[in-house]
Amino acid sequence: MRPGYTNIMTTGASLSIDRLSKSFGAAQALKAVSLELAPGEMVALIGASGSGKSTLLRHVSGFISGDADGSAVRVGSLTMQANGRIDRRIRARRADVGFVFQQFNLVGRLTVLTNVLVGQLARMPSWRSLCMRFTAAERSEALEALARVGIAHLAHHRASAISGGQQQRVAIARALVQRAKLILADEPIASLDPESARNVMEILARINAEHGITVLVSLHQVQFALRYCRRTVALRLGEVVYDGPSQDLTPQLLRSLYGSAVGQLIEGTQSLDDHEPEALPEAAFEARAAVTV
């Protein structure tokens, strides 16, 4: 860890998902999904629209419960839900799980600093959280987190007055201040321009490398999985159809997994070298297999 950043937790948590299923009426969104992440891993979760990525992440955080089928979700030693029931202590247990939303989920009228401080609410006494009373030490920690993501100079700006890429950095800083052991990032770069998308992915990778925080990030753009994550899990129609090294995700394999829907993953996206949007050539997959953290 670099000098001056001593307040932010550096320990990641394992993640265990066991036979998780979820139906919305007649539609089955998840089908007996099982997944294990070791502490400190950074794993990409890919899939075409409707594959179940967001549904899976929301189950991990305890926002929604699975079907009552003997399934379980655990973060470290803590059970988030089991047998279709969210644990009654979920508010306290959710403190270990930071969630970075596609649409930022900030309060636009509040300052950047206050939005980051919100990450501390779950660990504060109820009377202070209700009054939004923060100590000098907590404010200092929030400023440190903003410095970690490169926007400390925006601390006193309204959240609504900064760019989308900067807002996503605020969301990551909030997870740091929360002292999350696991960060779930749900399409965090889907709404961003290519440069902002790279910046956000680089910040997530740096946090993972320097603090050991476990990261599970869902992506549409396969090239970002190739560059930033050693391991990728692919979902299709609610099922895990691939779990292995990112470098093995060749265009041929992706086509075999997704058929005509593969265009959502490898076409119409910006390449990592600032080329114009185009279908990624097969040779690009070899060049981007290495993790560049």
C-beta atoms surrounding 27 within 10 Å: 10
The candidate with the shortest Cα–Cα distance to 210, out of 247, 166, 172, is 172
The candidate with the shortest Cα–Cα distance to 141, out of 124, 163, 165, is 124
Between residues 169 and 264, the one the model is more confident about: 169
The pLDDT value recorded for residue 292 is 33
Contact between residue 157 and residue 110 where contact means Cβ atoms under 8 Å apart? no
pLDDT band at 128 (very low <50, low <70, confident <90, very high): low
pLDDT digits (tens, 9 = 90+) for 235-292: 999 999 999 999 999 989 999 999 888 888 875 433 333 333 333 334 333 333 333 3
Structure tokens at 152: 């400390």
The pLDDT value recorded for residue 10 is 54
Stretch 33-46: mean pLDDT: 97
Could you tell me the pTM of the whole model? 0.84
Structure tokens at 217: 């990030």
As a whole number of angstroms, the distance between CA 156 and CA 22 comes to 42
As a whole number of angstroms, the distance between CA 172 and CA 154 comes to 14
* For the chain, percent of residues with pLDDT exceeding 70: 85
Tokens 């099922």 belong to 239
* For the chain, percent of residues with pLDDT exceeding 90: 69
**293 burial via Cβ count (<10 Å: 0-12, 13-18, 19+):** middle
Between residues 282 and 145, the one the model is more confident about: 145
> Which domains can be identified in the chain, with CATH numbers?
15-287 (3.40.50.300)
Contact between residue 173 and residue 142 where contact means Cβ atoms under 8 Å apart? yes
The pLDDT value recorded for residue 19 is 95
Mean of the per-residue pLDDT values of the chain: 85
Between residues 53 and 120, the one the model is more confident about: 53
**10 burial via Cβ count (<10 Å: 0-12, 13-18, 19+):** middle
pLDDT digits (tens, 9 = 90+) for 48-100: 888 999 999 999 999 999 998 889 999 999 999 999 999 999 988 998 999 99
